[in-house]
Amino acid sequence: MHGTMCDFTRRNLLLGTALAAGSNETEAQEQSAQRKSASEVNEAVPVGKDIFFHQGDIEHQGHCNNGWIVFKDYVLVIDANFPSGAQTILPKIRAITSKPIRFAFDTHHHGDHAYGNQIWVDNGATPVAHTGVIEEMKRYETGYYGDKPGRWEDTAKTRPDVAASRLKPPSVLFPRELYFDDGEHRVELHHLGVAHTHGDAVAWLPKERILFTGDTCVNGPYNFVGDGNVEQWIATLAAAKKLGARVICPGHGPRGADSMVEDQQLFFQQLRERVGALVQAKKSAREVHQSIPAIRGNLTAQAQIRRYVGDGLAAQVEKVYNEMTGQKFPDDSKASRAARQLHRHSHSLLSV
């Protein structure tokens, strides 16, 4: 989203929670919380004993959020980030502990979460992921697997940090769950289902009830839906909700309370309801894309979810429409072009 983040989106991002507040008093509290969160970008914030959250600078650098847990003998990092994102947090981890960084957990295959793997390997760590991450990499990282140039090569054209590194797929893989437990700390990696991609996993800390969601849940207008499935995503969010988290550390945007999972779920449900009503009314693809401003108006009017409405809405509407009907928007439609541009942008530049 960097470079193209419009004023509306930026305002939404900064004020989203504040706008969502009901009363003036709550609004003031929320605004102050939001300011605090905004000031947390690029800061290592302790969210529990030996547990840190680092909100990445998505706007200027395209970075995802990170977490790390200091176990008795080693450090586990949540998300590899882009190479420049890995290099941003490495010294911050080193400032906290001299214990070796042994594992970097990729929540999914996207560049802003996994392209920094080589940096972690160079620093002694092993990338870990759900088996679906490899399946997704085989699908999209065709250059690495000996076919035509894929997303890595595309991204390297615009990101010097990627051009200077190389793709390193995770080599410790788990089909559903993997636990790190040294008696003091416990981190459970869970694949809860298809969501933002077909290979998402979350990091659940049951003792502290902290959930690192990757892009299964974000806090702001960051939902890229191109590689996932919105219908299944809603069910996956329900599974995440069942864990009973107290603190949510999302893949993008400020950390927050457990209600964030519900907010994002409601956003997708409402999106599906709006598009579903048009499909039921037998509207054409052209009519559905022409309804995007009305859908935007409807979703933005809902305080709980308006912070999720941003530049990506056209692509999100098209994706839901495609899931429901198998059809795409007409090629000559502006919305379709915008959706394609956003896809391209997300895939190659940020891979959010």
CA angle, corner 228, sides to 125 and 153, nearest 5? 55
Nearer to Zn ion, 113 or 185 (CB): 113
Instruction: Classify burial at 64, counting beta carbons within 10 Å of its beta carbon; exposed 0-12, middle 13-18, buried 19 or more.
Output: buried
Integer Cα distance of 140 and 152 in angstroms? 9
Nearer to Zn ion, 29 or 341 (CB): 341
The 8-class DSSP code of residue 331 comes to: T
Shortest-Cβ-distance residue relative to Zn ion: 110
Q: What is the DSSP string of 60-125?
A: HH----EEEEE-SS-EEEE----HHHHHHHHHHHHHH--S-EEEEE-SSSSHHHHTTHHHHHHTT-
Q: Which residues contact 327 (CB under 8 A, 6 or more apart)?
A: 285, 321
Token pair of 291, please?
């309804």
Integer Cα distance of 7 and 296 in angstroms? 16
Nearer to Zn ion, 20 or 240 (CB): 240
Q: Binding string, 220-259, against Zn ion, x = CB under 5 A?
A: ----------------------------------------
Binding-site size, Zn ion (CB under 5 A):
2
Integer Cα distance of 181 and 324 in angstroms? 42
Q: Which residues contact 344 (CB under 8 A, 6 or more apart)?
A: none
110 sits near Zn ion (criterion: CB under 5 A) = yes
Nearer to Zn ion, 256 or 312 (CB): 312
Token pair of 73, please?
């003998």
Integer Cα distance of 314 and 231 in angstroms? 17
For residue 69, the minimal CB distance to Zn ion (Å) is: 21
Beta strand segments in 251-350, E = 256-257
Nearer to Zn ion, 189 or 285 (CB): 189
Integer Cα distance of 37 and 345 in angstroms? 26
Q: Binding string, 119-148, against Zn ion, x = CB under 5 A?
A: ------------------------------
Nearer to Zn ion, 77 or 285 (CB): 77
Nearer to Zn ion, 199 or 254 (CB): 199
Near Zn ion by CB under 5 A, which window of 103-111, 118-126, 172-180, 312-320?
A: 103-111
Q: Are 269 and 234 in contact (CB under 8 A)?
A: yes
Integer Cα distance of 32 and 34 in angstroms? 5
Near Zn ion by CB under 5 A, which window of 54-62, 72-80, 211-219, 266-274?
A: 211-219
Nearer to Zn ion, 110 or 185 (CB): 110
Site of interaction with Zn ion (CB under 5 A): 110, 215
